[in-house]
């Protein structure tokens, strides 16, 4: 369960245990760890993840001195065994990772537990409301709840979290966003994949697992090519294992599929569609884009994916209206002119073409989006302050 090497590493210093379920949560945790390091020289970071993709990204991003583990099975004897080995001085969970046996095992050992970047979706609120007495008992063992928004704070309080432990600290996603004044293509990546210099790219990012958005991306691309014959398409599925299925769809539509996982070249984009079916490369492929569509947002129930990152990188960004996982971000970002919400495939195509035609409009969208991101930054410091309270 825990290797001998990691058992030895766990003994070197006092441990801060941070749990992040997958890639998105881990990237928030990584931002928190980066900012905490200078304040925590007597501590080391133990990171647990649940998914294989989360583990792969964490493995590549953490420092050698950090300890990366898979999150224990939610079975009390197993959880007790792992907690006894890690012996954390503080535990942190990111967003909505509420595992009862983890909470109770930490509480038995009087380990403070902090929720950071906390959010409660409508679905979670409804589900938790069915077992409200249980949630109230669980929440009393948390030391603090740092929630993203006032609504999240109200929801977790209604579920039983003590009001005196709740704070609206903002969203770390804004602090993790890299803001680039002028987006420039990654030249080494272009050379690596053989992409002709100056090729304008429509990038469809984080498309949903069902595959419903894949043909939409190709439909939009074909409409775009009617106006701009040199346009090219890159598809980045949310789940890389879908690469082969997307490749089959691409071939059925009369194009050559080029898969990143197979190290295939994108050297003839007029007849090829490139599929980034790898982990952790989305940010560098964003640099090649002219316009970005962020998926898991066109069809219900959706949920959305991170639209802050491409806006920060200096790109005009479009997404659908089903973005419940980014409630309070997606709508307000668009209301401030920093992104565009579309109702369906036809409006998506029209918006992509408009942004392609109207460089001034695209630049204004980027400017307003980045201004909004800057206005929302500061959550990371709020969370650092909370962590340090429990390490004094």
What is the pLDDT at residue 1?
74
Residues contacting 378, CB < 8 A, separation 6+: 170, 175
User: Per 3-state DSSP, what percentage of the chain is helix, strand, and coil (rounded to 5)?
Assistant: 45, 20, 35
Q: What is the pLDDT of residue 182?
A: 85
Same domain as 232, residue 166: no
Together in a domain, 247 and 167: no
User: 265 and 119 in one domain?
Assistant: no
Domain assignment of residue 145, given as a range: 4-174+377-389
Same structural domain, 157 and 23: yes
Under the phi-then-psi rule, with left for phi > 0, alpha for psi from -120 to 50, and beta for the rest, what region is 209?
Answer: alpha
Give the residue among 279, 314, 326, 319 at the shortest CA–CA distance from 297.
319
What's the CATH number where 218 sits? 3.40.50.2000
Distance from C-alpha of 179 to C-alpha of 338, rounded to nearest angstrom: 13
Q: Are residues 286 and 341 in the same domain?
A: yes
Nearest CA to 337 out of 297, 292, 369 is that of 369
CB-CB contact of 181 with 314 (8 Å):
yes
> Do 192 and 125 sit in the same domain of this protein?
no
Q: Whole-angstrom Cα distance, residue 172 to residue 34?
A: 12
**What pLDDT is attached to residue 317?**
98
Same domain, 256 and 165: no
Task: Point out which residues pair with 147 in neighbouring strands.
Answer: 118, 168
d(CA 70, CA 207): 26
CB 342 within 8 A of CB 319: yes
Instruction: Confirm whether 269 is domain-assigned.
Output: yes
For 143-153, letters b (16+ CB in 10 Å) and e give bbbbbbbeebb
**3 state SS for the chain:** CCCHHHHHHHCCCEEEEEECCCHHHHHHHHHHHHHHHHHCCCEEEEEEECCHHHHHHHHHHCCCCCEEEECCCCCHHHHHHHHHHHCEEEEEEECCCCCHHHHHHHHHCCCCEEEEEECCCHHHHHHHHCCHHHHHHHHCCCCEEEECCHHHHHHHHHCCCCHHHEEECCCHHHHHCCCCCCCCCCHHHHHHHCCCCCCCEEEEEEECCCCCHHHHHHHHHHHHHHHCCCCEEEEEECCHHHHHHHHHHHHHCCCEEEEHHHCCCCCCCCCEEEECCCCCCHHHHHCCEEEEEECCCCCCCCCCCCCHHHHHCCCCEEEECCCHHHCCCHHHHHHCCCCEEECCHHHHHHHHHHHHHCHHHHHHHHHHHHHHHHHHCCHHHHHHHHHHHCCC
Residue 179 lies in a domain: no
Residue 180 lies in a domain: no
317 and 203 in one domain?
A: yes
Determine, yes or no, domain membership for 95.
Answer: yes
> Both 317 and 225 in a single domain?
yes
Are 128 and 243 in a shared domain?
no
* Residue 182 maps to a domain: no
CATH code, domain carrying 126: 3.40.50.11720
Same structural domain for residues 44 and 132?
yes
Q: Residue 334 has what pLDDT?
A: 97
Torsion sign (Cα): 74, 79, 82, 83: positive
Q: What per-residue confidence (pLDDT) applies to 328? A: 77
What are the residue ranges in the chain where pLDDT is below 50?
none
pLDDT digits (tens, 9 = 90+) for 259-309: 999 999 999 999 999 999 999 899 999 999 999 999 999 999 999 999 999
Greatest pairwise CA separation for the chain in angstroms: 65
- The structure tokens 């649940």 sit at 50
Residues 146 and 198 grouped into a single domain: no
Residue 247 lies in a domain: yes
Q: Is residue 327 a part of any domain in this protein?
A: yes
Q: How many domains does the chain have?
A: 2
- Tokens encoding 26: 């881990």
Q: Domain for residue 284, yes or no?
A: yes
């Amino acid at each position: 369960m825990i290797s001998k090497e990691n058992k030895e590493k766990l003994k070197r210093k006092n441990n801060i245990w941070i749990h992040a379920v997958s890639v998105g949560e881990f990237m928030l945790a990584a931002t928190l760890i980066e900012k905490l390091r200078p304040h925590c020289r007597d501590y080391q970071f133990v990171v647990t993840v649940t998914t294989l993709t989360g583990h792969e990204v964490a493995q590549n991003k953490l420092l050698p001195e950090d300890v990366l583990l898979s999150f224990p099975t939610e079975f009390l004897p197993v959880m007790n065994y792992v907690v006894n080995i890690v012996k954390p001085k503080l535990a942190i969970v990111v967003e909505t990772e509420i595992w009862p046996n983890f909470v109770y095992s930490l509480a038995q050992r009087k380990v403070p537990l902090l929720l950071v970047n906390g959010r409660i979706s409508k679905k979670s609120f409804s589900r938790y409301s069915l077992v409200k007495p249980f949630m109230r008992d669980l929440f009393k063992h948390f030391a603090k709840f740092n929630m993203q928004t006032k609504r999240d704070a109200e929801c977790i309080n209604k579920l039983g979290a003590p009001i005196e432990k709740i704070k609206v600290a903002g969203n770390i996603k804004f602090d993790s966003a890299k803001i680039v004044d002028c987006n420039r293509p990654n030249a080494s990546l272009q050379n690596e994949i053989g992409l002709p210099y100056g090729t304008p790219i429509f990038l469809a990012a984080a498309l949903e697992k069902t595959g419903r958005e894949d043909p939409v991306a190709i439909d939009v691309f074909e409409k775009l090519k009617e106006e701009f014959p040199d346009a090219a398409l890159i598809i980045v599925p949310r789940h890389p294992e879908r690469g082969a299925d997307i490749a089959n769809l691409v071939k059925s539509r009369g194009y050559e599929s080029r898969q990143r996982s197979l190290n295939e070249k994108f050297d003839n984009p007029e007849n090829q569609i490139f599929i980034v079916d790898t982990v952790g490369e989305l940010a560098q492929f964003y640099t090649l884009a002219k316009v970005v569509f962020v998926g898991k947002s066109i069809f219900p129930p959706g949920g959305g994916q991170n639209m802050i990152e491409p806006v920060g990188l200096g790109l005009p960004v479009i997404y659908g209206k089903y973005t419940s996982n980014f409630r309070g971000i997606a709508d307000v970002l668009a209301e401030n002119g920093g992104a565009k919400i579309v109702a369906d495939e036809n409006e998506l195509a029209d918006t992509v073409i408009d942004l392609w035609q109207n460089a001034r409009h695209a630049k204004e969208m980027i400017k307003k989006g980045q201004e909004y991101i800057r206005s929302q930054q500061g959550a990371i410091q709020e969370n650092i302050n909370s962590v340090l309270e429990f390490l004094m």
